[in-house]
Structure 1
Amino acid sequence: MSQKIGILTSGGDSPGLNAAIRGVGKSARGAYGMEVIGFRDGFRGLVEDRTVTLGGGALSGILTLGGTILGTSRDKPHKMPVGGEVRDMTDAIVETYRRHQLDALVCLGGGGTQKNALQLHQKGLRVLTLPKTIDNDVAMTDTTFGFDTALGIATDAIDRLHSTAHSHHRIIVVEVMGHRAGWLTLGAGIAGGADVILIPEIPYSVQTVADAIQERVRSGKPFSIVAVAEGAVTRDEHTAMAAALQRRETASSKEERKKAKAWIQRLEEESTDHTLRLAHQLESLTDLEARVTILGHLQRGGTPSAADRLLSTRLGTACADLIEQGVGGVMVAARGEGVEAVPLEEVAGQKKLVPADHPWIDSARRVGTSFGD
């Protein structure tokens, strides 16, 4: 008998999601005669049993579209707002899965999706995931779809800011997305020729950044581009957060853990405007005007790049092959020009950060880029 599979997209939208849906759906239907349905708005669609048939018409013409035709949400199966309260809706998801007599569920998403998928796998569902995020921080895969497109957008933005910085002899501070991983800022900073790159993995000193900018002024370059990750932190902030996390881990009572959690939350809230604060500090230390550009969700939208379309299609078709082979409980990871089925237990809860000895960092330093350390 032909198999029946469900597909959903979860977490933030990302270029390449529709290409991946198309890759899974067309391959599953065309090569193996499977029936394919989509669940709307992530795991909430599973809970509420909101489906759409992914036939040939629905899968046609979506390769180049940004966003996701299925819609998405950040709802978690075990912690979902329902009727004014937060409830564990895992059992409802299991019921929907069985009601539709699914043979497999394909979840397209980032780090949070991997954890949610593992929970469903542990409940007895056959689940496979594809790694999606512009942050490129999903563990155990060479890259994630969405990253290449966002990298190109951020690089183009830095390219365009060079002319303004040069014309007005200014410091341009451009904030790039990426949460707690610096891949996007690092890549765009190098490709766009940023003079300073600040990433979460390398805590920085504002004075060191100012010194690097002033050295450029002394060498006849009265402007600078500073690419800063949204999760970048100063040395002092890094030390304070490490102490707060240690305090939480060693707390001997519920009250102490509560205080440590509140401390961590306060530190995170204080860091939300760090890019604007950095710009003001650099103005004061260098006597140069500083302007801030926050790229924000601009980096997540639009048409996926050719590289992301290729990656999404390659992972999607490989996913259909694995379903036909009876495989489940895995993430379909990019490995070189091929793929690898990685157990969800090895992916969930892990994060791929930029190593201190990564070749990109070495190359950036060798061309004179400052990391503020």
Structure 2
Amino acid sequence: MKKIGVLTSGGDSPGMNAAIRAVVRSAIYHGIDVVGIKRGYQGLISGDIMSMDLGSVADIIHRGGTVLYTARCEEFKTEEGQQKALATIREHGIDGIVVVGGDGSYRGALALSQKGIPTIGLPGTIDNDIPCTDFTIGFDTAINTVIDAIDKIRDTATSHERTYVVEVMGRHAGDIALWAGVAGGAESIMIPEDPANIDSMVEKLKRGAARGKKHSIILVAEGVGKGFEIGEQIREKTGWETRVTVLGHIQRGGSPTAFDRTLASRMGSMAVDLLMKGEGGKAVGILGGVLQAHDIERVLVTPRKPNMSLYSLASILSI
């Protein structure tokens, strides 16, 4: 292993820069050259590649986003696109690649591995929707961003005695809503894994109002439905003034938390270790606090299991 490439793909997430930094510095420590592939698989096809040294990753561990930029690339899904990428890899003498991204990025990493290029995937997504890992890079930062917003919204909800619906990201997974809802003391949490019946949620709100509760926060994962539609249903069924906040892409940005910086650093270093051992087609994850490597193919076919015990706890605590 003489030269490693690193790229970020799909949606950005806080901590990607920490992962890039760890890959670059760990590789250089072991005497391996590193190149950065800009704009994900699109850069691999077009040859948008730069040499990286220790200075290339100085002062980036605290920055959100990705210094290598990111993009979605439909062309790489085709055989022709993959052949262009292989030509770029051969031209630059790249022996192995580290890919930081979500499930779409993992599919690209698997394709490269199947074509003989040792590739390691790191779970970089705020959605926490990658199987075989308890946490993904960026998730902790995202839920802290949501918690900060909930705390501010609750101040207004309390002052005006209103019900607020807060829609958060997560695609088809409800982890952002679930974890932020528990930590933020939301009265109701709606996740796609177990979408709450709107009538039962309204009854819960009415019970709270009957005992004197004057405001409520309802957290809705985008995989359940649109916050504005749910807010309108609540208003129709209760007659209460309801406000809706869609947090949107602020959840992706910001300086990564200490947890995300550390997780990304550990995973990036492990990716280099795996490539040095001649392994490819692997995805790094963390289970029970221990880093592990799983076949990417296994990760892509493993059903994702949400933390339903946490969901049950949310129901108990928001009684």
> Which TM-score band (shorter chain)?
over 0.9
Find the counterpart in structure 2 of residue 368 from structure 1. Answer: 318
Q: Which residue does the alignment assign to 1:359?
A: 309
1:284 to 225, 236, 240: 236
User: Can you list the C-alpha shifts for 1:322-341, whole angstroms capped at 9, x where unaligned?
Assistant: 11111111011123333111
Measure, in 2, the Cα distance between the counterparts of 1:118 and 1:323: 14
What displacement does 1:220 show?
0.1
Contact 1:111 1:351 in 2 (8 A): no
3-state SS of paired residue (1:89): helix
Displacement of 1:88: 4.0
Q: Is the 8 A contact 2:118 2:275 kept in 1?
A: no
SS in 1 for 2:240: coil
State how far apart, in whole Å, the 2-side matches of 1:76 and 1:126 are: 22
> What residue number does 2:14 align with?
15
SS in 2 for 1:12: coil
Equivalent AA in structure 2 for residue 29 of structure 1: I
Does the 8 Å CA contact 2:118/2:278 hold for their aligned counterparts? no
Contact 1:213 1:286 in 2 (8 A): no
Q: In structure 2, which of residues 131, 136, 142 is the aligned counterpart of residue 150 of structure 1?
A: 142
SS of equivalent residue, structure 1 residue 180: coil
Return the match for 1:220 from 191, 196, 212: 212
Q: What does the per-residue CA deviation read over 1:324-367, in whole Å, with 9 as the maximum and x for residues that have no partner?
A: 11111101112333311111110125452425xx2211211221
Which residue number in structure 2 is paired with residue 46 of structure 1? 44
1:137-193: CA deviations, max 9, x gaps? 101112111000001000111111111111111110000100010111000001000
Aligned position for 1:196: 188
Give the 3-state SS of the residue equivalent to 2:203 in structure 1. Answer: helix
State the distance in 2 between where 1:277 and 1:66 align: 32
Which residue is 2:202 aligned to? 210
Return the alpha-carbon distance in structure 2 between the equivalents of residues 328 and 79 of structure 1.
19
Aligned to 1:110: 102
Per-residue CA distance 1:19-60 (angstroms, 9 max, x = gap): 000011101101x11000011100000000011111111111
Q: Which residue of 2 aligns with 1:128?
A: 120
The correspondence of residues 236-251 of structure 1 with structure 2, limited to 5 A, is: none
Question: 1:104-130: CA deviations, max 9, x gaps?
Answer: 011100111111111121122111111
For residues 281 and 181 of structure 2, the distance between their equivalents in structure 1, rounded to whole angstroms, comes to 37
Q: Distance in 2 between matches of 1:163 and 1:78?
A: 47
Secondary structure class of the residue paired with 1:130:
strand
Amino acid at match of 2:126: I
> What secondary structure does 1:348 align onto?
helix
Report the AA paired with residue 187 of structure 1: W
Q: Secondary structure at the match of 2:291?
A: strand
8 Å contact from structure 2 (residues 227, 245) kept in 1: no
* 1:1-373 to 2 correspondences below 5 Å: 3-30=2-29, 32-79=30-77, 88-232=80-224, 274-350=226-302, 352-355=304-307, 358-369=308-319
Distance of 1:169 and 1:351 partners within structure 2:
41
* SS of structure 1 residue aligned to 2:280: coil
Q: Is the 8 A contact 1:182 1:353 kept in 2?
A: no
Measure how far apart 1:136 and its partner are: 0.5
SS of the residue aligned with 2:66? coil
Percent of aligned positions that are identical = 41
Aligned pairs, number: 319
> 1:157, 1:16 → 2: CA distance?
20
Which amino acid in the other structure matches residue 219 of structure 1? R
Q: CA RMSD in A?
A: 1.5
Distance 2:312 2:193 in 1: 14
Q: Deviations over 1:182-238 (max 9, x none)?
A: 111000001000001000011222211211111111010021100000011xxxxxx
Q: Structure 1 residues 327 and 98, CA, compared in 2 at 3 Å: closer, same or farther?
A: same
- Quick one: distance in 1 between partners of 2:76 and 2:52? 27
Q: TM-score, normalised by structure 2?
A: 0.96
Letter in 1 for 2:24: G
Q: Which runs of 5+ in 1 are unaligned?
A: 81-86, 233-270
Moved over 3 A (4+): 76-80
Alpha-carbon deviation of 1:77? Answer: 4.8
Measured against aligned partners, the alpha-carbon deviations of 1:59-115 in whole angstroms (never above 9, x if no partner) come to: 1111101100000011145447xxxxxx84010011111111111011100111111
Structure 2 gaps, min length 5: none
Give, as a single letter, the amino acid of the residue that structure 2 aligns with 1:23: A
TM-score using structure 1 length: 0.83
Which letter does structure 1 place at the counterpart of 2:33? E
